[in-house]
Amino acid sequence: NAGVTQTPKFQVLKTGQSMTLQCAQDMNHEYMSWYRQDPGMGLRLIHYSVGAGITDQGEVPNGYNVSRSTTEDFPLRLLSAAPSQTSVYFCASSYGTGSYNSPLHFGNGTRLTVT
């Protein structure tokens, strides 16, 4: 099983450039989410989705867009990258529409640097 797959693993952007971080899962999970991890800050929720066509904001949504056209894919878009978006980004999914009984399955992360 591939689980949660994130691409690319590393990316360097210049300020103002746009890009899409890809996330795909093959476990038929309805719930998917994006977190960013910064040193000393833990992980913070950016956006989440409880099914195809349904997305909502988390703690730190500004500067990011998401969409969910299929159950498998949940891309994260940076429309105009800023140095403050330098971070490691994690995609996660879980069974159903999200349940405390079901663990989050994380991808291995995308390390983004904005110069």
Partner 1 sequence: AQSVTQLDSQVPVFEEAPVELRCNYSSSVSVYLFWYVQYPNQGLQLLLKYLSGSTLVKGINGFEAEFNKSQTSFHLRKPSVHISDTAEYFCAVPYGGSQGNLIFGKGTKLSVKP
Is residue 26 involved in binding partner 1 (CB under 8 A)? Answer: no
Choose, by CB under 8 A, the member of 48, 68, 78, 81 that binds partner 1: 48
Looking only at the bridges linking them, the beta strands covering 64-66 and 76-78 are antiparallel
Interface with partner 1: number of residues (CB under 8 A): 31
Query: Taking CB under 8 A as the rule, does residue 27 contact partner 1?
Result: no
Indicate whether 59 belongs to the interface with partner 1 (CB under 8 A): yes
Residue 85 or 93 with smaller CB distance to partner 1? 93
In the region spanning residues 60 to 89, those forming contacts with partner 1, defined by CB under 8 A, are none
List all residues 6 or more positions away from 85 whose beta carbon is below 8 Å from its beta carbon.
36, 63, 78, 112, 114
* Token couple for 88: 């490691």
Name residue 23's beta-bridge partners.
6
